[in-house]
Amino acid sequence: MRTKLSFRALKLAAAVLSVHALSDIPAAMAEPGLTSTYSDISKCRNVDEGEDEFVLECKGPGGASALLQYVEGRVGLLFKPAMNGRRIEADDLFELKPNAGKPFPGKLEWRIAPGSIAPCAAIIRVPTKEGEPLLVFNLSTGVLESQAANNKTARVIADGICANGKRSGQKDRSPRTQTSDLAIADAISKASEEFETAFRETGIWGVSELVQNCYAEASSASDVARCAQLDFLGNVNNKIFADRYGMPRYPYFRGHNPQNRMAAAILRLNVSDEQARALQKIFEESI
């Protein structure tokens, strides 16, 4: 049985697994003047090793570091300090393609904003079953935000993450984040109806696309409520379907991924603590 996440844990939660890329972030969102530094993964310290498994620690600038875990053909990634105290669990691991060779080829790229010594985003290539995407992580949360096919797109996504992180740290919040609990409840109700239509017409894959686009466009607490409710219903229905027919879970909805996506949105939009607690209730029965 899973342990319930506290409100504080929810806001700090991070996802390691994601199998679908978000839409490319427009170049206008990129933060100008960002620079890159690299960690050569072949030189990262081996901190744990066993039969067909190992964990590497790659040191980055400004006290950042990455733990790269390989175990029996699957990999997981964890970034510190955002994810201090969190372990890589079975649901966080995802499969490599057969005969992938090195599970972490190349280098780990750290993106750094002007005037900062700590990176705000990280980019790494992993040879998954679905290809060899560049995975892009938000280092304020440790969350895997998206994936890209090439370096240029990956950097645009990373720079957008850095720009959003800078804006979310400002004192003046957008009025759009001051949504009432009533608006959140209304968004949850409408999302439930929306899910039924999407699931019936497009199946679980279509629901994952709906959730993905929802979070990409979210600009308020009520928007996040809609996305989270769709995510929650996708998680529950996919589990029921998989258990009933003995099929594997759809990776996008597996484990804590839905909760972690909501946590990332809460941090990005800087919603109030009261609103975040209201949003947390969406998942209380599923954790």
pLDDT by residue (tens digit) across 37-58?
Answer: 999 999 999 998 888 889 999 9
CA pair distance 110, 228, nearest whole angstrom: 29
- Residues 148, 228 within the same domain: no
- Residues 132, 35 within the same domain: yes
Task: Give the pLDDT mean for 2-17.
Answer: 30
pTM passes above 0.75: no
- Residues 120, 220 within the same domain: no
**Pairwise pLDDT comparison (129 vs 198), residue with the higher score:** 198
**3 is a domain residue:** no
- Residues 156, 211 within the same domain: no
- Residues 205, 88 within the same domain: no
Beta-carbon neighbour count of residue 21 at 10 Å? Answer: 18
126: confidence class by pLDDT, cuts 50, 70, 90: confident
The pLDDT of residue 108 is above 90 = yes
Q: Are strands 53-59 and 45-50 parallel, antiparallel or unpaired?
A: antiparallel
- Residues 158, 188 within the same domain: no
- From 134, 168, 202, give the residue that closes a domain: 168
CA pair distance 185, 196, nearest whole angstrom: 17
Report the pLDDT value the prediction gives residue 21, as an integer from 0 to 100: 28
- Residues 131, 217 within the same domain: no
**5 is a domain residue:** no
CA pair distance 61, 264, nearest whole angstrom: 23
- Residues 127, 190 within the same domain: no
Nearest to 76 by CA among 271, 255, 205: 255
- From 168, 198, 226, give the residue that closes a domain: 168
Could you tell me if 147 and 18 are in contact, meaning their C-beta atoms sit under 8 angstroms apart? yes
**9 is a domain residue:** no
- Residues 196, 144 within the same domain: no
Say which range, 97-101, 104-108, 120-124, has the weakest mean pLDDT. Answer: 97-101
- Residues 218, 156 within the same domain: no
**97 is a domain residue:** yes
| Placement of tokens 């996506």 in the chain | 261
- 70 DSSP β-pair partners: 54, 75
Identify which of 13-27, 58-72, 95-109, 184-198 has the greatest average pLDDT.
58-72
Structural domain for 268, as ranges: 175-283
CA pair distance 9, 7, nearest whole angstrom: 5
- Residues 94, 54 within the same domain: yes
Helix (H, G, I), strand (E, B) or coil at 72: coil
Helix ranges restricted to H, 246-256: none
**115 is a domain residue:** yes
- From 168, 196, 215, give the residue that closes a domain: 168
Question: What sign results for the dihedral spanned by CA atoms 125, 131, 133, 139?
Answer: negative
**88 is a domain residue:** yes
Nearest to 124 by CA among 207, 187, 67: 67
CA pair distance 195, 72, nearest whole angstrom: 36
Question: CA-CA distances (angstroms) from residue 210 to 202, 207, 258, 264?
Answer: 10, 5, 13, 17
Report the pLDDT value the prediction gives residue 32, as an integer from 0 to 100: 52
Q: What is the dihedral of CA 117, 120, 126, 130, to 10 degrees?
A: -170
Report the pLDDT value the prediction gives residue 248, as an integer from 0 to 100: 81
Burial of 131 (0-12, 13-18, 19+ CB in 10 A): exposed
% of the chain exceeding 70 in pLDDT: 78
**240 is a domain residue:** yes
Helix (H, G, I), strand (E, B) or coil at 152: helix
Domain count, the chain: 2
- Residues 163, 28 within the same domain: yes
- What is the rounded radius of gyration, in angstroms, for the C-alpha atoms of the chain? 18
Could you tell me if 36 and 60 are in contact, meaning their C-beta atoms sit under 8 angstroms apart? no
**16 is a domain residue:** no
